[in-house]
A = this chain, B = another copy of it.
Amino acid sequence: MSKRNQQILLINRPKGMPTEADFKWEEIPIPQPSEGEVLVKTLYLSVDPYMRGRMNDSKSYVAPFELNQPISGGVVGEVVESKAPGLEAGDIVVGMLDWKKYQTVSAHGVKKIDPTVAPITTALGVVGMPGLTAYFGLLDIGKPQPGETVVISGAAGAVGMVVGQIAKIKGCRVVGIAGSDAKIEYLVKQLGFDAAINYKTATDLRAALKEACPNGVDIYFDNVGGEVSDAVMTLINPHARIPLCGQIALYNMEKVAIGPRIQPLLLINKALIKGFIVSDYAERFEEGTRQLALWVKEGKLRYEETIVDGFENTIQAFLGLFSGENLGKQLVKVAEPSKR
């Protein structure tokens, strides 16, 4: 079996949408683990919208990617060789790792996952960072109460889908906003959303939202910002809560985006808006992971994955996020596990 190693480097800071020319595939040797380390073979890697922000050389959620260094992100891998207690060859692990086929990492940098609880890919989605983002943003900032109306932008993404289903579990009316009729239909028919709106085809988004939210909006889980959010903001109720999870404007921070001032609406409605990142809740990841896995097991939390095959197709999968091709979590399959 060939054990060639490969990594993907960022070689240019993209202007606007990245192209494959901004990245470089490089052959490298397979490293040897030192004491306390494991050698991990990448099985699946996660591509996420927030990574676009890290490709800029500007302040964002997290530090920018360095030029001529490998991209990093969520990876599920298999331990090939272990020099660390508690991990052995064949174990499946998840962590924030480099985009490499093989890499060594400190045993503290990965978490062992139990493949019998849920498919291993869910550690990158519904029970991983996107699921935890939904869980803490909705429950800790949104604080949903039975009978309240929850609106979600980017509702068919990996985070939005989980937000909507947790809101249903909590007894809320759930309205999703997404960008295709197929997504809209999926949200309502498969995930049980009360309504969903295609913002690309709605002639009057605010009117469509008003119809879908006859009692106004108590929680707006904002994954996108911009004009979609402008429409939702005009419909918020007194004491509304707005977890702020993503903003299109972040992808192009050279220009300051201009729009309607939201402070008067926040003041009149005594409303709260809070930006957050899932790592704010690192101390509660165990709780969140356990609850999400339980809901998946009970069939209360469905998930969707779009899997592209092959390390060489990673950038293509990443770019697909921005044209809205994925339904649910977008993953790249890099290798098969050696055993199941």
| A residues lining the B interface (CB < 8 Å) | 59-61, 222, 225, 229, 244-247, 249-250, 253, 256-264, 266-277, 280
User: A275 touches which one: B60, B222, B253, B270 (CB < 8 A)?
Assistant: B270
A273 adjacent to B270 (CB under 8 Å): no
- Give the chain B neighbours of A273 by CB distance below 8 A: 263, 266, 272-274
The residues of B that contact A60 with a CB separation of less than 8 Å are 268
Specify which chain B residues have a CB less than 8 angstroms from the CB of A222 in the assembled complex.
263
Which residues in B have their C-beta under 8 angstroms from that of A264?
225, 247, 249-250, 253, 257
With A258-B258, A261-B257 as known contacts, state yes or no: A61 contacts B267, CB within 8 Å.
yes
Neighbouring B residues of A276 by C-beta, 8 Å? 270
Contacts of A253 in B (CB 8 A): 264
Give the residue name and chain of the B residue nearest to A246 (CB). Answer: B267
CB<8 Å pairs between A and B, sample of 26: A60-B268, A61-B267, A222-B263, A225-B264, A244-B263, A244-B267, A246-B267, A247-B263, A247-B267, A249-B261, A249-B263, A250-B268, A253-B264, A256-B260, A257-B261, A259-B261, A262-B263, A266-B273, A266-B274, A267-B275, A270-B275, A270-B276, A270-B277, A271-B274, A271-B275, A272-B272
**A261 & B271 in contact (Cβ 8 Å cutoff):** no
**Bound complex: CA of A200 vs CA of B148, how far in Å?**
44
In whole angstroms, how far apart are the Cα atoms of A249 and B173 in the complex?
A: 32
Inside 8 A of A269's CB, which chain B residues have their CB? 275
Of chain B, the residue at the smallest CB distance from A241 is B274
CA distance A256 to B246 in the complex (A): 24
* Distance in angstroms between the alpha carbons of A45 and B268 in the assembled complex: 24
